[in-house]
Structure 1
Amino acid sequence: MGFQDLYAHNLALLAKQGWRILSNPSSLVGRLFKARYFPHSDFLSAPIARSPSACWRGIYTAQPTLKRGVRWQVGDGAMIRIWEDAWLPRPVLFRPVWYGNSALVSVSELLRYGQWDRDLIAANFDEGDASLILSIPLSSNHVADRLV
């Protein structure tokens, strides 16, 4: 078939299965894996189980690949952790720079009446991060955050 790197191709196929679990958690496979391997977390923070199946072991191998590539699209901000999750429109890092002086936890705390709270953002982020945050468009409808 002409594959140059069979390991990379296999990893891509396993990452695709992981993405399906992330993007459609209510599917039969998503519910089955969640119940068996990560009942109290999500796929991206799931630990390896004590005696995993070969299928789960393979999909779990692709978890770091998905972590590097997945990013949050801001909706209502409730599911996005400011300092841990990738959500800023910045290449490579996708996270704000943390200076250790902020008690903020989720992106929803940066919103007031469906708009960015400019004063709070200016007080807790440097100028570059603040301008990136303010450049993120918000929906007038209350939509949930989603992974992209």
Structure 2
Amino acid sequence: MSPFILMRYSAILLLRQNISAIEGVKPIIIKGACYAVGNGSSINVWKDPWIPWVDNFKPKPKHIDAPLTHLMVSQLIDHAQHQWNTSLVQDTFDQQSAQAILNIHIPLRFRPDKLIWTPNNKGNFTVKSAYWSALDSDNYLPQSNLPWKRLWNLKAPERMKMLLWRIGTTTLPTKKNLCQRMLIQDSCCALCKHELESPIHLFIECPIAKALWLSCCWGLKPEEHSIQSPESLIKLILDPPKAPCPEEDQWLIPLNMAFILDEIWFLRNQSLHKGSQIDMQAAITNIQ
């Protein structure tokens, strides 16, 4: 395959993935996007979201079987008085929709209609507000049984808590995750160079990972604990098996396990991005 054809194929693949990603967040955008009425000339009454206090930001007709003719918001406004045409609004919409429309402020100086993001008090779209909006959506984010509060209260550096969170939510950029988003040539584990680099393989099944667990975690063999998913790996860390140490030191077990995951991820990145040789003794020393 020529470089030109390969570049074209990669561009098409990335475009499709971007379109898919946009479609994936569409329910969240629909949930929070609403027009702020200016002159009303660009807002379709029945198709566009424009009423903040009703379901889906769209009005309901006064009569259910009434035909929804083409109607712009500007046609509902008495432009000379800068107010709603009350009788027309009440004759067109049901009582709840009509009252909500009449509560919308008409600006003294007409301005263009503006699409705003309602979860933000300034109307601006932010990733943070979209994230919290997504958490409130039962149909968007997969449900997780992980006790996140316990994770954030773990006695460990914040950087490691974030790593555990990324593992548990499958957002860590392992090669398996990258393959689902873009075209990469090599999907093999950066440590052993054999299997597909999934989170479970990298942190549990890879021979390098197994050696670190065995050497640094009281001879622990993770494969004996039925770890089938990233969630179950995090659950094992939050509810670890007993270790041969005093009872008052048992809190060190999750911390030690987090250090092992952190070192595995560090070795993986050093090998992948810098071509570094794996020094097992140095890795064990780092964990200890």
Shared fold, TM over 0.5: yes
1:77 is aligned to 2:33: no
Q: CA deviation at 1:68?
A: 2.0
1:63 is aligned to 2:26: yes
1:126 is aligned to 2:94: yes
Q: CA deviation at 1:67?
A: 1.5
The number of equivalent residue pairs is: 99
The 1-side partners of 2:27 and 2:68 are apart by: 28
Give the gaps of 5 or more residues in structure 2. Answer: 1-11, 117-288
Partner residue, 1:137:
105
Partner residue, 2:58:
95
Partner residue, 1:86:
49
Q: If each structure's helix is expressed as a fraction of its own residues, which one has the higher value? A: 2
Partner residue, 1:105:
71
The 2-side partners of 1:116 and 1:130 are apart by: 10
Specify the SS of the correspondent of 2:71: coil
Contact 2:90–2:98 under 8 Å retained in 1: yes
Contact 1:72–1:146 under 8 Å retained in 2: yes
Query: RCO greater where, 1 or 2, for CA within 8 Å and sep 6 or more?
Result: 1
Change (3 A) 1:93 1:69: same
**C-alpha RMSD of the superposition:** 2.2
- Identity value in percent: 27
Q: CA deviation at 1:69?
A: 1.7
TM-score (norm 1): 0.57
Correspondence for 1:146 among 93, 97, 114: 114
Partner residue, 2:184:
none
Task: Single out whichever of 115-124 and 92-101 deviates more from structure 2.
Answer: 92-101
